[in-house]
Structure 1
């Protein structure tokens, strides 16, 4: 079954067109990456899906149900987003408990105490952190909170906007392993934006290469690992990534 489908998605900021006819079908349980240089439109696609870039044409559907352009509570229950900066995305004056309880209150979901404790446990956060503030946590712990906030509504799709790039290298592997485990245990579907091709190789099944707002290639991760991407621009990205990793 198709979990997330984009058809001819054109996204604009004012008079500026950011993406051009972006079309993707992502299967239920699949982990899919959008890769490309800065400014290629990757994160803008995630924002449009999440409702943060409302000026778009085309269609966005989750499990066959179309997304409206405004606030869409039904879509939010199915699809949530984890942002790049785990400090900037958390309210500095709200405890972890308040941050995790708020989505439940907004959607009228009961049994909040048990749900908060369960989601904290699922991301490896000790109960002692529940009534602390973001500044009292490490970067990795804050990103676990951000992931927990996304999961507390029990969505089936997670949008991941470079979820490890703001973290220390020593913590990145922990978060990637956490995401891999959560995907397996909860049969989650991932759409991840990243510039880090080793992360794609570790976490994803397929990838789309974006350039100047357009998808230039869709490939299996096996092709990435074998160095068998087709487009010259895709191979250039591979070379740049290899250089940075060296």
Structure 2
């Protein structure tokens, strides 16, 4: 069974259609990337899956179950999203403890204190961070908190929208290593949006290349590493990255 599948999905913002006939299937436990330049529609696909861009047609299924268009609690237990900007995605006036406890409270999950402490450790943060506020944390530490919050309900799938692009280069590698470790430890499925091909090489098994709202190629990451993508635009992206797909 696929963890995520899209079939002939069109997505619009108002009168403007931004994704055309998207189709893909992500296996359970797989790490799959959507790549392309800004405006290609890749983040819009994540938002539609998450229920944040409800104006779509076609079929979206999560763990074999058709996805409705509303935010719903059952969905939140299996699929969570990590946003690009850790400065904007965490409430500035709530402690880290309050931020991490909130999903547990909403879903009536017990043992909150123990769960919060365990998750801080899992994302590499000392327990002394628990009662700090976001402004007392660095960008990398905030993104660790955002990842911890996404994992509090023990979801199977993480939607990752450019999770390192707002961070300093020195910190990006730390967060990517963390994501790789968490995926292995928790058997997570990733759908990652990025424009950074070395990130795809490091973290992903397959990728879909998007251009102007359409998926133009789906390939294994081995083809990316070998520079043997076939679509002209995909080859252009590869050339623009300087042929450097290793890294981190």
CA distance in 1, matches of 2:26, 2:244: 29
TM-score, L = length of structure 2: 0.97
What are the within-5 Å matches in structure 2 for residues 165-244 of structure 1?
A: 165-242=165-242
Give the aligned partner of residue 101 of structure 1: 101
TM-score, L = length of structure 1: 0.98
Q: Tell me the alpha carbon deviations over residues 34-90 of structure 1, each in whole angstroms, 9 at most, x when there is no partner.
A: 000110000000011111111111121111112111122111111000000011110
Give the aligned partner of residue 65 of structure 1: 65
Give the aligned partner of residue 13 of structure 1: 13
Give the aligned partner of residue 117 of structure 1: 117
Structure 1 portions without partners, runs of 5+: none
Q: Secondary structure at the match of 1:48?
A: helix
Give the aligned partner of residue 52 of structure 2: 52
Aligned Cα RMSD in Å? Answer: 1.3
Give the aligned partner of residue 36 of structure 2: 36
- Deviation of the 1:210 alpha carbon: 0.3
What are the within-5 Å matches in structure 2 for residues 123-142 of structure 1?
A: 123-142=123-142
Runs of 4 or more, structure 1, over 2 Å off, are: none
- Deviation of the 1:244 alpha carbon: 8.7
Structure 2 portions without partners, runs of 5+: none
- Deviation of the 1:7 alpha carbon: 1.2
CA distance in 2, matches of 1:183, 1:194: 17
Q: Secondary structure at the match of 2:87?
A: coil
CA distance in 2, matches of 1:111, 1:48: 32
- Deviation of the 1:242 alpha carbon: 1.4
CA distance in 2, matches of 1:135, 1:129: 12
8 Å contact from structure 2 (residues 197, 241) kept in 1: yes
CA distance in 2, matches of 1:161, 1:71: 18
